[in-house]
């Protein structure tokens, strides 16, 4: 999705710049018209000082779940706007970020997935959920992903649960021979199964079942480049926000 560059260049700092996603974000920023790479830090560096020294407008954070909330609040307090792809935020974490954004009147974007196709797949799942009585989610990621289930899978489960207003009926007499074989119960009783394998990037299937038919919505990120258009979109849009936005969907469909 093409964005019209701002007349004033947006200065972007990358937190997690030595990681695979962070280094790719830095490269992408350098080649995007209207964006300027203001600096980069990683775990252990003084993030607030680097933001101020680089006069960053926006900070893109791809680090690790244990530092996500701390970094996001530090970015806001340092005078910049966070665009966060680090997963692992809980409801209480989002509430803290939302309150800080409101207090500072400064926008932020926290997105479990920056791939445009993944956002659309969740939107389509919300529609399909109204018509099918059963649904399960299978998410597949590389073997270095720290959290399970993925933030995207949890977001999809929440969207499905909101649309259908009822959990899938339990299977009469069902018994797990091995605990966990039937997956985790997410929001609204939607079962989520997590796969971690070397060679994968990020993939998800949302499988709906009805009388005599199934519907499978599948999205595949085949490389990390798939996330860059969404990152750039969020960087450009967050400068006009004064509140927290969770996910890319509000930016794609305002």
Q: Tell me: the pLDDT tens digits for 131-167?
A: 999 999 999 999 988 889 998 999 999 999 999 876 6
Nearest one of 205, 204, 202, 206 to 222, comparing CA atoms: 202
- Choose the weakest-confidence range: 4-8, 58-62, 110-114, 168-172: 4-8
Catalytic pick among 13, 142, 145, 203: 145
Q: What is the mean pLDDT of residues 183-208?
A: 94
pLDDT in tens, 13-53: 999 999 999 999 999 999 999 999 999 999 889 999 999 99
**Token pair of 137, please?**
């989610």
Confidence (pLDDT) at 166: 63
To the query of whether residue 145 is one of the catalytic residues in this protein, the response is: yes
Contact between residue 163 and residue 126 where contact means Cβ atoms under 8 Å apart: yes
Confidence (pLDDT) at 43: 86
Report the C-alpha gap between 100 and 98 in whole angstroms. Answer: 6
DSSP 55: T
Contact between residue 220 and residue 152 where contact means Cβ atoms under 8 Å apart: no
Residue 3 has pLDDT above 50, yes or no: no
Pairing of strands 184-185, 202-210: unpaired
Residue 5 has pLDDT above 70, yes or no: no
% of the chain beyond a pLDDT of 90: 80
Q: What is the mean pLDDT of residues 175-196?
A: 91
Report the C-alpha gap between 98 and 112 in whole angstroms. Answer: 16
pLDDT in tens, 75-99: 999 999 999 998 778 889 999 999 9
Paired residues of 232 in beta bridges? none
Catalytic pick among 141, 193, 203, 219: 141
List the domains of the chain with CATH numbers.
Answer: 10-110+225-252 (3.40.50.720), 116-222 (3.30.360.10)
Q: What is the mean pLDDT of residues 175-202?
A: 92
Residue 4 has pLDDT above 70, yes or no: no
Residue 237 has pLDDT above 70, yes or no: yes
Strand ranges (DSSP E) for the chain?
A: 10-15, 35-41, 58-61, 81-84, 108-110, 134-141, 184-185, 191-196, 202-210, 213-221, 244-246
Confidence (pLDDT) at 169: 63
Pairing of strands 134-141, 202-210: antiparallel
Report the C-alpha gap between 5 and 14 in whole angstroms. Answer: 19
- The residue length of the chain stands at 254
């Amino acid at each position: 999705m093409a964005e019209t560059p701002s007349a004033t260049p947006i200065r972007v700092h990358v937190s997690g710049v030595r990681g695979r996603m962070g280094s790719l974000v830095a490269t992408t920023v350098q080649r995007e018209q209207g964006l300027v790479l203001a600096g980069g830090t990683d775990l252990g560096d003084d993030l607030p000082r680097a933001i101020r020294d680089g006069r960053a407008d926006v900070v893109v954070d791809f680090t690790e779940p244990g530092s996500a909330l701390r970094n996001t609040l530090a970015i806001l307090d340092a005078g910049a706007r966070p665009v966060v792809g680090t997963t692992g935020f809980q409801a209480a974490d989002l509430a803290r970020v939302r309150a800080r954004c409101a207090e500072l009147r400064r926008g932020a974007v926290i997105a479990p997935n920056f791939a445009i196709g993944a956002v659309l797949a969740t939107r389509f799942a919300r529609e399909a959920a109204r018509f099918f009585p059963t649904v399960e989610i299978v998410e597949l990621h590389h073997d270095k992903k720290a959290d399970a289930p993925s933030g995207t899978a949890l977001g999809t489960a929440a969207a499905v649960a909101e649309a259908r207003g009822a959990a899938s009926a339990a299977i009469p007499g069902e018994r797990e021979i091995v605990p966990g074989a039937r997956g985790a119960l997410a929001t609204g009783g939607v079962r989520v199964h997590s796969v971690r394998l070397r060679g994968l990037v990020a993939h998800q299937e949302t499988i709906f079942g009805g009388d005599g038919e199934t519907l499978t919505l599948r999205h595949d990120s085949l490389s990390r480049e798939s996330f860059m258009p969404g990152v750039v979109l969020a960087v450009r849009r967050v400068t006009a926000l004064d509140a927290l936005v969770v996910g890319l969907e509000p930016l794609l469909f305002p």
